[in-house]
Amino acid sequence: MKTVIGKTIEFEACHKLLDEDIYGKCRNLHGHRYELLVEICGDVNEFGWLCDFKFLKEIIEKVVLRKYDHAYLNDFFKIPTVEIIAASIFEDLSNAMKDEPFEINKIRLFETRTSYAEIVK
Q: What pLDDT does residue 20 have?
A: 73
Residues with active-site annotation: 26, 70, 111
| Rounded Cα distance, 7 and 24, in Å | 33
Q: How does 20-58 read in b/e, with b if 16+ C-beta sit within 10 Å?
A: eeeeeebeeeeebebbbebbbbbeeeeeeebbeeeebee
User: How do residues 32-79 score in pLDDT, each as one tens digit?
Assistant: 999 999 999 999 999 999 999 999 999 999 999 999 999 999 999 999
